[in-house]
């Protein structure tokens, strides 16, 4: 290869500026023509990524600086998508650790940095957003050094270089007083500090590549992305795919060999050890398989992935309204789609259940599972989803549960209410300190099951001003029972279209989830009862008409707008005896058993088994 090569990943806590920095690097690295329109957040190409303002999928790109080509991988910041980060770090030789100069290291900073240090990477620290009024770069650098030390960094890793930057403004500097006109100091630091691929001297060995990312292309079919670990691969080569055990999964001819150039995947004739490439032509090979030459024998070892901590049950939609919106309703089709997701995302695990037409989907958190279900509903699927449950572990006869580190920034006035609510959910306060601007930073350790459904309550308690971040911390002995939802459900007694007069009379009972004219059915939850018990109500009851003329004119019915639950809110709101009915056009809450007599029998059976 005539040009030298650098492979780096950009890692950080959520919202610390990874995708914005990649945008600026692409713009200054020549990825766009001078008169070309430059997309905002170019790497967040997925619809949900743009809507939610977060990165969900890791994506490679490439720029040329001088005589070096730099392959860059933008990674997600949310802990729920940590599986993506873990895989990406195994195919790069260096990383940029972005830290918000105002916030300092956060929970996900700790998570991604621990993974990078364990792989022996030497991060370059970029103190982003130093132009903000609340920025304190020196305090952030000291906090980052303490974090490196806490995570057991080697002496070499502790000597990390750091730069001051503003990704939004597109500049980086070696000092706060330096020039603020470009990212040239960052590019130069990458070339000087990040080594060339450690496998670059293996070009004479047989071709091997560990499949790290899997995507689908409408023209190419299955596309596998990874780093060439050894040898040279050429367009049209016949290769085999093998699992870590050595079992050969398939043998096929490469129909396409693609390299990354800016935002595009460009066809190339060959690629050597150290380069990041995408290949097409294999029908069965998946993530963690090794693609290699026919004369190669040793599969590349895939890094271990942290296990899932949360699971939901996904089943067919069997409500009276089933099949009206979606065209993918059969359990076979749902199963195929879930298995396809688990194949490309190693942090997702799908398994059969004892129930008919139902599958357990386990992942890292509510957000990851919510994104999967939202993606499926947009593809035309209909399904029922259960309340999330935490996956326990048993060691030496003791039941262990996942505990998360929760970091909260909240106005001083609301800190007491937050601590009180989390204490009920078995959280333990670890640290409480002022964070400037009339805010308090709380650090707590809370069981994962205590945080299910808490975020909506947290936003209400802090009037939308609080910021909550969480990341897996450890496994701990079971911490005891946690109180469930304090409110009951208003359950429809009949099927039809909701009537305004009936809903108006029911408003004093609680908060409505439906509006007049909306289809309802027996067993569907149409609102939240203000009291703890469930209440069966009739949303179809209309006003009785008489031939007696009233002295005064009847006033028009004025209804409070209904509370519309998003998919994630509905999944976290429901109880164990309820399901969320998900269709392309609606998110409804229903009872697991629609018939009231069946509900009563199921309740007695559940009480007898406790």
pLDDT for residue 553: 46
Q: Kindly state the average pLDDT of the residues 441-456.
A: 86
Residues 40, 135 within the same domain = yes
Residues 111, 162 within the same domain = yes
CATH of the domain at 573: 2.40.50.250
Last residue of a domain, one of 193, 216, 233: 193
On the question of pLDDT at 30 being above 70, the answer is: no
Dihedral pair phi/psi, residue 603, rounded to 5°: -65, -40
pLDDT for residue 28: 81
Residues 106, 217 within the same domain = no
Pairing of strands 578-583, 467-477: unpaired
The three-state secondary structure class of 179 is coil
Residues 6+ apart with CB under 8 A from 353: 313, 359, 360
Bridge partners, residue 467, by sequence:
409
Domain presence at residue 369 = no
pLDDT for residue 474: 86
Q: How far apart are CA 96 and CA 7, in angstroms?
A: 11
Instruction: Find the helix or strand (DSSP H, E) in which 456 lies.
Output: helix 454-461
Express each pLDDT in 557-588 by its tens digit. Answer: 788 899 998 888 898 889 889 999 999 999 99
In Å, what is the CA distance from 60 to each residue of 52, 212, 276, 404, 494? Answer: 21, 11, 8, 30, 53
pLDDT for residue 423: 92
CATH of the domain at 398: 3.30.70.240
Mark residue 493 as left, alpha or beta (left: phi above 0; alpha: psi -120 to 50; beta: remaining).
Answer: alpha
Instruction: Find the helix or strand (DSSP H, E) in which 535 lies.
Output: strand 535-537
Residues 92, 236 within the same domain = no
Rg of the chain taking only CA atoms, in angstroms: 27
Residues 98, 16 within the same domain = yes
Domain presence at residue 302 = no
Q: How far apart are CA 600 and CA 610, in angstroms?
A: 16
Residues 259, 118 within the same domain = no
pLDDT for residue 511: 92
In Å, what is the CA distance from 423 to each residue of 218, 370, 429, 479, 510? Answer: 50, 26, 8, 12, 27
Count, residues in the chain: 610
pLDDT for residue 35: 47
Residue with tokens 């795919």: 241
Q: Can you read off the two tokens belonging to residue 132?
A: 């903000």
On the question of pLDDT at 501 being above 80, the answer is: yes
**Average pLDDT value over all residues in the chain:** 85
Least confident of 110-124, 302-316, 491-505: 302-316
Residues 412, 449 within the same domain = yes
pLDDT for residue 235: 92
CATH of the domain at 242: 2.40.30.10
Inter-residue contact 418 to 410 (CB < 8 Å): yes
Express each pLDDT in 169-195 by its tens digit. Answer: 989 999 888 888 889 999 999 999 998
Of the pLDDT bands very low, low, confident and very high (cuts 50, 70, 90), residue 78 is low
Domain presence at residue 323 = no
pLDDT for residue 513: 94
Last residue of a domain, one of 269, 293, 317: 293
Residues 6+ apart with CB under 8 A from 192: none
Q: Kindly state the average pLDDT of the residues 75-91.
A: 71
Q: Can you read off the two tokens belonging to residue 607?
A: 């009480």
Residues 452, 502 within the same domain = no
Of the pLDDT bands very low, low, confident and very high (cuts 50, 70, 90), residue 344 is confident
Residues 36, 159 within the same domain = yes
Cβ neighbourhood burial of 461 (10 Å; 0-12, 13-18, 19+):
middle
Of the pLDDT bands very low, low, confident and very high (cuts 50, 70, 90), residue 41 is very low
Q: How far apart are CA 383 and CA 590, in angstroms?
A: 12
Domain presence at residue 145 = yes
Inter-residue contact 492 to 529 (CB < 8 Å): no
Last residue of a domain, one of 293, 325, 347: 293
Express each pLDDT in 281-329 by its tens digit. Answer: 998 888 888 999 999 888 888 776 777 888 999 999 999 999 898 899 9
Q: Can you read off the two tokens belonging to residue 217?
A: 């292309």
The three-state secondary structure class of 39 is coil
Residues 6+ apart with CB under 8 A from 139: 104
DSSP 318: -
Bridge partners, residue 409, by sequence:
441, 467
pTM: 0.77
Q: How far apart are CA 97 and CA 71, in angstroms?
A: 16
Q: How far apart are CA 229 and CA 146, in angstroms?
A: 34
Q: Which residue has the higher pLDDT, 543 or 266?
A: 266
Instruction: Find the helix or strand (DSSP H, E) in which 191 lies.
Output: helix 184-193
Residues 6+ apart with CB under 8 A from 122: 94, 156, 157, 160, 193, 194
Inter-residue contact 279 to 233 (CB < 8 Å): yes
pLDDT for residue 546: 63
Q: How far apart are CA 437 and CA 346, in angstroms?
A: 41
pLDDT for residue 1: 42
Of the pLDDT bands very low, low, confident and very high (cuts 50, 70, 90), residue 465 is confident
In Å, what is the CA distance from 202 to each residue of 293, 364, 471? Answer: 14, 36, 38
pLDDT for residue 44: 45
pLDDT for residue 527: 93
The angle subtended at Cα 257 by Cα 254 and Cα 263, nearest 5°, is 150
On the question of pLDDT at 33 being above 50, the answer is: no
Residues 502, 427 within the same domain = no
Share of the chain above pLDDT 70, in %: 90
How many domains does the chain contain in total?
4
How many C-beta neighbours within 10 Å does residue 283 have?
10
Domain presence at residue 330 = no
Share of the chain above pLDDT 90, in %: 36
CATH of the domain at 105: 3.40.50.300
Residues 186, 281 within the same domain = no
Express each pLDDT in 44-59 by its tens digit. Answer: 455 665 566 555 556 6
The angle subtended at Cα 100 by Cα 98 and Cα 104, nearest 5°, is 105
In Å, what is the CA distance from 88 to each residue of 23, 81, 275, 287, 437? Answer: 19, 12, 14, 12, 37
In Å, what is the CA distance from 277 to each residue of 7, 257, 259, 341, 490? Answer: 12, 7, 5, 22, 55
Domain presence at residue 24 = yes
Residues 417, 518 within the same domain = no
Residue with tokens 């990383």: 95
Pairing of strands 586-591, 524-529: antiparallel
- Nearest Cα residue to 58 out of 31, 76, 42: 76
End-to-end CA distance of the chain: 67
Q: How far apart are CA 74 and CA 571, in angstroms?
A: 29
Domain presence at residue 345 = no
Q: How far apart are CA 131 and CA 394, in angstroms?
A: 49
Q: How far apart are CA 32 and CA 263, in angstroms?
A: 9
DSSP 308: P
Bridge partners, residue 264, by sequence:
261
Domain presence at residue 31 = yes
pLDDT for residue 470: 80
Domain carrying residue 19: 4-193
């Amino acid at each position: 290869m005539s040009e030298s090569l650098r492979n780096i990943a950009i890692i950080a806590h959520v919202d610390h500026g990874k995708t914005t920095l990649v945008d600026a690097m692409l713009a200054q690295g020549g990825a766009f023509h001078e008169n070309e329109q430059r997309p905002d957040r170019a790497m967040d190409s997925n619809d949900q990524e743009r809507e939610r303002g977060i990165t969900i999928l890791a994506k490679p790109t490439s720029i040329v600086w001088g005589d070096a080509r730099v392959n860059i991988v933008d990674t997600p910041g949310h802990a729920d998508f940590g599986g993506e980060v873990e895989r990406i770090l195994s195919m790069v030789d260096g990383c940029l650790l972005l830290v918000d100069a105002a916030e300092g290291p956060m929970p996900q900073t700790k998570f991604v940095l621990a993974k990078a240090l364990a792989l022996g990477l030497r991060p370059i620290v970029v103190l982003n957003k130093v132009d903000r009024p609340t920025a304190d770069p020196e305090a952030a650098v000291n906090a980052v050094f303490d974090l490196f030390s806490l995570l057991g960094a080697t002496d070499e890793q502790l000597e990390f270089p750091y730069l001051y930057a503003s990704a939004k403004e597109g500049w980086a500097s070696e000092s706060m007083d330096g020039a603020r006109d470009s990212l040239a100091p960052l590019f130069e630091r990458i070339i000087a500090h990040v080594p060339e691929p450690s496998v670059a001297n293996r070009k004479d060995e047989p071709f091997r590549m560990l499949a790290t990312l899997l995507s689908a292309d409408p023209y190419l079919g299955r596309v596998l992305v990874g780093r060439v670990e050894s040898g040279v691969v050429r367009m049209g080569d016949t290769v085999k795919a093998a699992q870590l055990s050595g079992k050969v999964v398939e043998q096929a001819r490469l129909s396409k060999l693609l390299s990354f150039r800016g935002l595009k995947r460009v066809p190339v004739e060959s690629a050597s050890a150290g380069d990041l490439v995408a290949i097409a032509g294999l029908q069965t090979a998946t993530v963690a398989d090794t693609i290699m030459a026919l004369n190669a024998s040793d599969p590349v070892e895939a890094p271990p992935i942290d296990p899932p901590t949360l699971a939901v049950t996904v089943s067919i939609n069997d409500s009276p309204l089933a099949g009206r919106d979606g065209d993918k309703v059969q359990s076979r089709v749902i199963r195929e789609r879930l298995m396809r997701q688990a194949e490309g995302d190693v942090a997702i695990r799908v398994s059969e259940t004892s129930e008919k037409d139902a599958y357990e989907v386990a992942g890292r958190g509510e957000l990851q599972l919510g994104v999967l279900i939202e993606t499926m509903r947009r593809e035309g699927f209909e399904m029922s989803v259960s309340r999330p449950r935490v996956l326990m572990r048993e060691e030496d006869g003791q039941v262990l549960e996942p505990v998360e580190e929760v970091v909260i920034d909240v106005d001083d006035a609301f800190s007491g209410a937050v601590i009180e609510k989390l204490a009920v959910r078995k959280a333990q306060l670890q640290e409480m300190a002022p964070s400037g601007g009339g805010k308090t930073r709380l650090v707590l350790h809370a069981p994962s099951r205590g945080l299910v459904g808490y975020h909506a309550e947290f936003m209400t308690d802090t009037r939308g001003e609080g910021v909550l971040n969480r990341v897996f911390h450890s496994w701990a002995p079971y911490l005891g029972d946690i109180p469930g939802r304090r409110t009951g459900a208003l359950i429809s007694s009949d099927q039809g279209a909701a009537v305004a007069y009936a809903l108006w009379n029911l408003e004093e009972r609680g908060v409505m989830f439906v509006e007049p004219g909306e289809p309802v059915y027996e067993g569907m939850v149409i609102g939240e009862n203000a009291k703890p018990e469930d209440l069966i109500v009739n949303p179809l009851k209309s006003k009785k008409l008489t031939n007696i003329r009233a002295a005064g004119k009847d006033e028009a019915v004025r209804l409070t707008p209904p509370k519309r639950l998003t998919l994630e809110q509905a999944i976290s709101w429901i109880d164990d005896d309820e399901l969320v009915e998900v269709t392309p056009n609606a998110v409804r809450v229903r009872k697991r058993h629609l018939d009231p007599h069946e509900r009563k029998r199921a309740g007695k059976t559940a009480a007898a088994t406790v």
